[in-house]
Amino acid sequence: MYELKTLLPQFDIKLPNCMYELRNVSISAGAAPCPEAHKIQCNGAAKSESNNSKSVTCALDLEILGKQIQHLLKNEDTAAVLQRQEKVLKQLEELKAQLAQIREGLNIKVCGKSVQHTTACHNGGLKEVPLHDVVVNGHPNFIPYALLALKNAWRNLYTIDVKTFTHSTLADIGPAAREFEANLAKVAVNEELPKINVTLIWKNCEHTEMISSPTMYVPIYGEVNIIRYLGRVGPVEYRYENSPLCNEIDAVLDICYQLLRCTTHKSQVAMVRLLDKRLNQQQYFGGSEMSVADIGVYSSLIRMPAITDKDLTPALLAWRKRAKLITEI
């Protein structure tokens, strides 16, 4: 790799000495002896510590730093740099104009939509356009609690605006679904956060399904898969595809999928055991952070009234308590 020329070399940076010194990971991992100058650059703390042992100030001495920068700016050396910078800026300007011309030729208007999600470059450059308006069809007997769990968990990160409807194939949705609707309505819509509109339709259908755009995509079936989808378009903290825990989270969600399809109590308990194994005394599934896997397990367990506290292990019970604080169901 190139070594960059330092623009502002040799500062007397006085670092507060109230901090621990960390070992430089990159250097020790590479195990390559670095030249002294380089070391100064990337490990300023170490240097300042040695140079600056006499002063015991607790803050950066900005005054000195400012003076040094002023002094440097007067130097002729920086004038050349400034010139170059000017030139680069000019070139950039030209490039921009060129692009605008091309765009005009292709008749593309500049998109007014400002919500550009970082998902665009995930998945090896495959372009993903998050849809902000989706329909979820659910049966009142299989309430998609995950929506509420996500809504609560993402309260400060992302808004899921759920509107509920009853389809004509159902005469009555029952008390559980009504309570669910009321709980959904309790979470206030924060217009400042990025938002996804969900239309939840109670319908006499076999599976929970999600329809995003009838002309472009096929429906997504199963609550677990809807969680996966929302995990993909939702806040960055909950996107798991690039995390090292990706496989683990997927595995847990798959267990949830099977759990929801278990008909006998025995098989359900077997699935719960599998979950316990996955949890393995961790704070949350897959580690110490809440993830979509926890949402999936949590909402699946609510949908399984046959699984009582007796069937859960102490670890799962403790996890459930932790998760409840976040999902608030």
Partner 1 sequence: MVEDKENTANAGQEPVSKKAAKKQAKAAKKAELKAGNAAAAAADEAAGDNAADHAAARYGLSEMIQSKDKRSEREFVLLPELNAQIGKGLFWVRGRVHTSRAKGKQCFLILRQQSSTVQCILAVGDIISKEMVKFAGNIPKESIIDIQAKAVAVPNKIESCTEQSLELFVEQIFVISQAKAQLPLQIEDASRPENADDAEGLNIRVNQDTRLDNRVLDLRTPANQAIFRLEAGVCRLFRDILSDKGFTEIHTPKIISAASEGGANVFTVSYFKDSAYLAQSPQLYKQMAIAADFDKVYTVGAVFRAEDSNTHRHLTEFVGLDLEMAFKYHYHEVLHTIGNTFTAIFKGLRDKYSREIEAVGQQYKVEPFKFLEPPLILNFADGVAMLREAGIETGDEEDLSTPNEKLLGRLVKAKYDTDFYILDKFPLAIRPFYTMPDPNNPMYSNSYDMFMRGEEILSGAQRIHVPEYLIERAKHHGIDTTKIAAYIESFRYGCPPHAGGGIGMERVVMLYLGLDNIRKTSMFPRDPKRLTP
Distance CA 223, CA 225 (A): 5
Task: Extract the tokens encoding 50.
Answer: 């040695």
Selected binder of partner 1 within 27, 65, 72, 211 (CB under 8 A): 211
**Nearest of 294, 194, 283 to residue 240 by alpha carbon:** 294
Backbone angles phi, psi at 150, to 5 degrees: -65, -40
Cβ atoms within 10 Å of 287's Cβ, excluding its own:
15
Cβ atoms within 10 Å of 119's Cβ, excluding its own:
18
Cβ atoms within 10 Å of 27's Cβ, excluding its own:
15
Tell me if 221 contacts partner 1 by CB under 8 A: no
Task: Extract the tokens encoding 99.
Answer: 């692009």
Interface segment toward partner 1; rule CB under 8 A; list 56-64, 95-103, 138-146, 210-218? 210-218
| Of residues 136-155, those binding partner 1 (CB under 8 A) | 137
Tell me if 275 contacts partner 1 by CB under 8 A: no
**Nearest of 161, 160, 170, 178 to residue 137 by alpha carbon:** 170
Task: Extract the tokens encoding 78.
Answer: 């920086």
With a CB cutoff of 8 Å and minimum separation 6, the contacts of 197 are 132, 133, 134, 161, 163
Selected binder of partner 1 within 7, 18, 111, 216 (CB under 8 A): 216
Tell me if 217 contacts partner 1 by CB under 8 A: no
Which CB atom, from 211 or from 245, has the smaller least distance to partner 1? 211
| Min separation Cβ 203 and partner 1, Å | 7
The Cα-based distances of 185 to 155, 173, 263, 302 in angstroms read 13, 16, 32, 19
Binding mask 13-52 for partner 1 (x = CB under 8 A): ----------------------------------------
Q: Which value, to the nearest 10 degrees, does the dihedral of the CA atoms of residues 99, 103, 104, 107 take?
A: 180
Tell me if 175 contacts partner 1 by CB under 8 A: no
Please tell me the count of residues contacting partner 1 according to CB under 8 A. 17
**C-alpha dihedral sign at 50, 55, 59, 60:** negative
Interface segment toward partner 1; rule CB under 8 A; list 28-36, 44-52, 60-68, 159-167? 159-167
Strand 133-138 and strand 195-202: the pairing is parallel
Which CB atom, from 119 or from 137, has the smaller least distance to partner 1? 137
Tell me if 299 contacts partner 1 by CB under 8 A: no
Selected binder of partner 1 within 38, 103, 167, 324 (CB under 8 A): 167
Which CB atom, from 43 or from 212, has the smaller least distance to partner 1? 212
Backbone angles phi, psi at 144, to 5 degrees: -75, 80
Q: Which value, to the nearest 10 degrees, does the dihedral of the CA atoms of residues 304, 310, 311, 314 take?
A: 120
| Min separation Cβ 137 and partner 1, Å | 7
| Min separation Cβ 179 and partner 1, Å | 18
Distance CA 326, CA 304 (A): 20
Binding mask 117-136 for partner 1 (x = CB under 8 A): ----------------x-x-
Tell me if 199 contacts partner 1 by CB under 8 A: yes
Selected binder of partner 1 within 18, 62, 126, 171 (CB under 8 A): 171
Q: How many residues are present in the chain? A: 329
Selected binder of partner 1 within 153, 201, 226, 230 (CB under 8 A): 201
Interface segment toward partner 1; rule CB under 8 A; list 83-91, 168-176, 250-258, 302-310? 168-176
Which CB atom, from 214 or from 244, has the smaller least distance to partner 1? 214
Which CB atom, from 181 or from 248, has the smaller least distance to partner 1? 181
Binding site for partner 1 (CB under 8 A): 133, 135, 137, 165-169, 171, 199, 201, 203, 211, 213-216
